Amino acid sequence: MQSVISVQQLSKTYASGFQALRHIDLEIRKGEIFALLGPNGAGKTTLISIICGIVNPSEGKVLADGHDVVREYRAARSKIGLVPQELTTDAFETVWNTVSFSRGLFGKPANPAYIEKVLKDLSLWNKKDSRLRTLSGGMKRRVMIAKALSHEPQILFLDEPTAGVDVELRRDMWEMVRSLRETGVTIILTTHYIEEAEEMADRIGVISKGELILVEDKAELMNKLGRKQLTLHLQRPLQGVPPSLSDYALELSPDGNELVYTFDTQGDRTGIDVLLRKLGEAGIDFKDLQTSQSSLEDIFVSLVSERP
Amino acid sequence: MNFHAIRAIYHFEMARTWRTLLQSVISPVISTSLYFVVFGAAIGSRMTAINGVSYGAFIVPGLIMLSLLTQSISNASFGIYFPKFSGTIYEILSAPVSYIEIVAGYVGAAASKSIMLGLIILGTARLFVSFDIAHPLWMIAFLVLTGVTFSLFGFIIGIWADSFEKLQLVPLLIVTPLTFLGGSFYSIHMLPPIWQKVTLFNPVVYLVSGFRWSFYGVSDVSVGISMGMTLVFLALCLIAVWWMFRTGYRLKA
């Protein structure tokens, strides 16, 4: 698979001495939706800012579509659209002007038909002559996206696109991201909402304390994590797992009061029914049972908290 | 060269001028008219001619320079400071534009605006006093060079400033005194001998003197030196801007 963004041994130390990124290596594939997850202050925005040219890297390099983002910034940046996290807009400009301005800034000749299409796609067309300060937060977010798309970028960065956005707009935005991907645009989004990554992403990267601790296909990740556990609270403590149940890889809690059965949800047969029957045959009674599924969130939390 | 970007920035900045027409064009015209009423008509009529030029006519080039300097600085400094303040600078920094293009857009717009203003003041002045322009091409050259140079200077202040107070600090504490003491309202030969020497350290003296020469053919310092000093100041500003962008000073972390 061809990579459209290549981050090589990238580090960033701010003037205050704070090390925001440590030796990041990351390849983003052409045409994929890549979700970058991480807690606040993990370095997500710094990483995006370096790729987009807003922050200077301390070490390492980044190629965007084969162009070094520092030395060949012109070629690199003209491929990239950025929707930053904060809603920063020119309060007194109209929607139409601010989006047209962005297109010019990125070196593209005026194209009213294209701007019209972008505004219509984002349900902004009837607001095109409104001044930005009169718009709601959600509308401003749409304007930021329109600005980023105004120059027909091949790579789109969405930094926390759905933070503080209502459910409807979030659905709209997911829809928009998917249709952009259909046209071949590569999308990199950072998010706090793990369900968003679960819903949207092809691949997921987890960043914590400036280090990229995991990059994996979402499907694979969910497969690994798509495990369920059945916990049985027993009437009477057991000394050990009876030999008749040895096929099931059961775990007994140290006090002997709980039996834990881990199974794969992907399988056709989970084996629960047989297990319960065999427990009955073995004379093991239980007073309660519960099942739990590990979500991306659990894994994320354990990944991030594992690290000192 | 990304001409679309220069055009986009230039238009964006000029749109701000039209949007704030009242404060950006009308108020300097009104304040300049007041100068003429006070210094030209009321006090000027009791003053003797300087180097054969009536006092009312004598102050015209100085007054234009005064507005040109303060307007260039405030337009350009605000133009680049505001996006830094509001955060919209992210877009400029992430765009495929070189610093030359950014400067051309912002400084070009600020200079256009202040040059337009200078010409409007020139027209306004003509209503109060009669004067001829001896060297129109030199006059335009000084007007444009000074507008560009001080817009660059304003741009530097706008990048340097990290608060609205600082944005006002340099114009208020340095530029206004230098302009008033730069011979806008008097010939430096009217000063005591020691101050005639000290005042030569004031760059505004050269601008006003050269500009006045282009009107009346008389000057405090020779026009060649005036032009030379203007170019030196322009070069210093260009070097400062180049350094700021090269290091990312107050623009990039």
Q: For A6, phi and psi rounded to 5 degrees? A: -130, 115
**pLDDT at res. A240:** 82
Residue bearing the bigger pLDDT, A229 or B202: B202
pLDDT over 60 at A156, yes or no? yes
pLDDT over 70 at B5, yes or no? yes
Q: Which of A14, A52, A84 sits opposite B253 (nearest CB)?
A: A14
**Contact residues on chain A for B91, CB-CB shorter than 8 A:** 82, 102, 105, 147
pLDDT over 70 at A306, yes or no? no
Could you report the per-residue pLDDT of B20-33, keeping only the tens digit for each? 878 777 887 888 88
- Look up tokens 């009837």; give the residue: A126
Nearest alpha-carbon partner for B250 in B115, B65, B127, B77:
B77
- Is B156 inside any structural domain? yes
Q: Which of A88, A93, A101 sits opposite B87 (nearest CB)?
A: A88
Could you report the per-residue pLDDT of B146-163, keeping only the tens digit for each? 999 999 999 999 999 999
The answer to whether A205 and A215 are in contact (CB under 8 A) is yes
The answer to which of A39-53, A246-260, B189-203 has the lowest mean pLDDT is: A246-260
Residue bearing the bigger pLDDT, A193 or A53: A53
**Contact residues on chain A for B87, CB-CB shorter than 8 A:** 84, 86, 88
β-strand pairing of A258-264 with A227-234? antiparallel
- Is B252 inside any structural domain? no
Average pLDDT over residues A140-154: 94
Considering its fold, how many domains does chain B have in total? 1
Q: Please report which confidence band the pLDDT of residue B112 belongs to, taking 50, 70 and 90 as the band edges.
A: very high
**What CA–CA distance (Å, rounded) separates A254 from A239?**
9
- Is B232 inside any structural domain? yes
Average pLDDT over residues A91-105: 94
| DSSP-assigned letters across all residues of B183-228 | TSSS-GGGS-HHHHHHGGG-HHHHHHHHHHHHHHS--SS-HHHHHH
Mutate to test the interface with B, among A98, A105, A152, A160 (most CBs of B within 10 A): A105
**Contact residues on chain B for A75, CB-CB shorter than 8 A:** 96
Q: State the pTM of this model.
A: 0.84
Residue in chain A closest to B252 (alpha carbons) equals A55
The answer to whether A177 and A149 are in contact (CB under 8 A) is no
Could you report the per-residue pLDDT of A209-244, keeping only the tens digit for each? 899 988 989 888 777 666 678 888 888 888 888 887
Nearest alpha-carbon partner for A198 in A216, A219, A179:
A219
- Is B9 inside any structural domain? yes
CB contact under 8 A, B248 and A89: no
Query: Structurally, what CATH architecture does the domain formed by A3-223 represent?
Result: 3-Layer(aba) Sandwich (3.40)
CB contact under 8 A, B92 and A15: no
**pLDDT at res. A307:** 61
Percentage of chain B beyond pLDDT 70 is 100
- Is B136 inside any structural domain? yes
Fold of A227-305: Alpha-Beta Plaits (3.30.70)
ipTM confidence score: 0.86
- Is B61 inside any structural domain? yes
- Among A74-78, A212-216, B15-19, B83-87, the range with the most confident prediction by mean pLDDT is A74-78
Residue bearing the bigger pLDDT, B43 or B87: B87
**What CA–CA distance (Å, rounded) separates A115 from A138?**
19
**pLDDT at res. A137:** 87
pLDDT over 90 at A295, yes or no? no
Q: For A25, phi and psi rounded to 5 degrees? A: -120, 125
User: Would you tell me how many other CB atoms lie within 10 Å of the CB of residue A220?
Assistant: 11
Q: Please report which confidence band the pLDDT of residue A119 belongs to, taking 50, 70 and 90 as the band edges.
A: very high
As a dihedral over the C-alpha atoms of residue A65, residue A68, residue A70, residue A71, rounded to 10 degrees, the angle is -120
Average pLDDT over residues B167-193: 87
Across the A:B interface, residue pairs with CB atoms under 8 Å apart total 84
pLDDT over 90 at B51, yes or no? no
pLDDT over 90 at A22, yes or no? yes
Structural domain for B188, as ranges? 3-247
Residues of chain A with CATH 3.40.50.300: 3-223
